[in-house]
Every structure is written in C-alpha cells, then in structure tokens.
Amino acid sequence: MGDYEVRLISGQVPVREGLKSTKWDGRPYGGKKLLLLAEQGFGDTLWVARYLSRVKALGGELIVECQKEIIPLLAEMGIADQLVPWGAPLPEADYHAHLCSLPGLFTADFARIPTQPYLKAPADRRAKFAQLVGPRDGRLRVGVVWSGSTTFKRNEERAQPLLRFFQAFALPGVQLYSLQKGPPEKSLHDLPKGGPIIDLAPHLGDFADTAAAIEQMDLIIMTDSSVAHLSGAMGKEVWVLLGHVAHWLWLLDRTDCPWYPSMRLFRPRAEGDWDNVFDSASLELTLRTRIMHL
C-alpha cells in the first residue's frame, strides 16, 4: 500500500496550498487536532472510512473533510468530531493526512484489512425506504447500477448499457430497482413500459438515502462505481461486473474481494467479452431464484 503514496507527487491528487499543519505519520496525536483531507471520488472516501475508528483511537480531535453527499453517512458513524464539506474553508489543525493514505498507514498486508461492516443508514432514512419499497411479495429484490460518474475519464471502460442489465436480470421471481444517479438515469426511458424495474433515483438525495435503499435489497448487481463500495461497506451482498482492465483495488483474476467479504467479482474471459460477464451473472441469479422457490 505504500506505493500508493506516489499519487501525491505524480499530479493525480492536486497539491493543497496553504496547509500549515504537519503531515501525519500514523503516530498518536493526543490533545491535538488531525485533519483528514478528501481526494478523488465518492468510492475512495467510502473505501477508507473503515479506518476512521482506528484514527480516532490514536488521539484528540478528528476533523474529516469529505464530499457533502457523504456527510450524513459519516455522521451516522459517530466518529469524527467535525465533518467539513469538500471545498469549504478548512479549520486549523496540528496534523493533516490525505484520506487515501490511511490504508498505507494501517494495513501492511491484505490479512490485516478491517472487513467488518462499518456503514449504515440513519434510522429516519431506513424508515423512509422501508415504507417506500413496501412489504415483500416473495420476489428477490435486486438493485442495479450500470454506470459510475460520467465525469470520470475512463467511465466508458467500466459502464454498460442498462438494456444489458434488463435482458440479463429481469427474470421471473426478480424485482429490479434502479439505484442509478446522474445522466445515465435517462436510459430508463428506453426500456419497455411497465417493465420489472422500479426507479428509486428520485428519492436518492445523498449516500445516506442510497444506503437505506440498499438495506431494502437482497442483492446489488452493478458495474464498478461508488455504490459497490457502499454496498460492501454495509455488508450487503453485491455482484460487481468488471471489464478486462479493472481498478487496482479489485486485483487480478479473483472473484472475491479482500476489502469486502460480501462482494463477488464477475470478470470477462477475454478483453471486451462483456457477454460472458452478463451470462455468468444471469445464470447465477437464475439459480438463486430457483432455490428460493423450492
């Protein structure tokens, strides 16, 4: 994980000007203030949130800068003394560290990764989505996400058309729910009217809402995006459909994920072989529904 620090000098992470605090090296900071700096995307913040309890245990006041859409979710953890929206003026601190430097400070190898679920939706959001989704009707509830952020320059390599999800997973005994946000939402208008997919996007104001929606699902099936990290961080079963070149966190040739025990990775047999990825996941879902109705 130490190699990941290269991002701070390679230009991948913009330099923070004007910081007067000392770079934190993981030592106890009792009686002092530590500021954790946001960087990169939503998924990165959700991924490293597992370390906040360890950071807090080492010292005094913990200040966490993060995307405003994630603040209610991190507030529910009850760990940070102060949560600052990314882009707002930063409070003074004695020490600082970038959020994505935490794995390198606390995880010497994969065997030491904290893998217990660490994120959950606030109670009011959970009640809201329990009422919205309603009582169970015997079908498997499957949440789907087919695209990450369209501002990510390599999103086209990981996103897939919604129609593929519809064809592979709109099965007897399955009720699909869309958890997709952003411009890709409009793909829902291209599906057959009255199809077995319910759009929850209008009710997803932030990641606390998305967490509450995920809690109502039996399974999440998706391409690589921040919701994969959220689902894994909650301990929800999630199937992530990957392209030939995947993010380094998912490693190589593995179907499991050391970061999230509830996650399963579906990989292509060859470059561009998305058909195999969807066929494999569709078969697994078909078998799941058959077992449910035995």
Average confidence (pLDDT) over 204-213: 99
- What lies within 8 Å, CB to CB, of 167 at 6+ separation is 278
Average confidence (pLDDT) over 253-270: 96
**What distance in Å separates the CA atoms of residue 48 and residue 39, rounded to the nearest whole number?**
11
Place of tokens 């989505």: 129
Structure confidence by residue, pLDDT tens digits, 212-261: 999 999 999 999 999 999 999 999 999 999 998 898 899 999 999 999 99
Protein fold of 123-292: Rossmann fold (3.40.50)
Question: What CATH number labels 2-112?
Answer: 3.40.50
pLDDT at residue 294, as a whole number = 63
**CATH 3.40.50.2000 residue spans of the chain:** 123-292
> Is there a contact between 198 and 176 (Cβ–Cβ < 8 Å)?
yes
One-letter amino acid at 155 equals: N
**What distance in Å separates the CA atoms of residue 165 and residue 215, rounded to the nearest whole number?**
21
**What distance in Å separates the CA atoms of residue 85 and residue 274, rounded to the nearest whole number?**
38
Q: Which helix (H) or strand (E) holds 290?
A: helix 274-292
**What distance in Å separates the CA atoms of residue 175 and residue 166, rounded to the nearest whole number?**
11
- pTM score: 0.94
Structure confidence by residue, pLDDT tens digits, 144-202: 999 998 888 889 889 999 999 999 999 999 999 999 999 999 999 888 766 679 999 99
Structure confidence by residue, pLDDT tens digits, 27-71: 999 999 999 999 999 999 999 999 999 999 999 999 999 999 999
- CA distance readout (Å), 251 to 233, 259, 269: 18, 11, 15
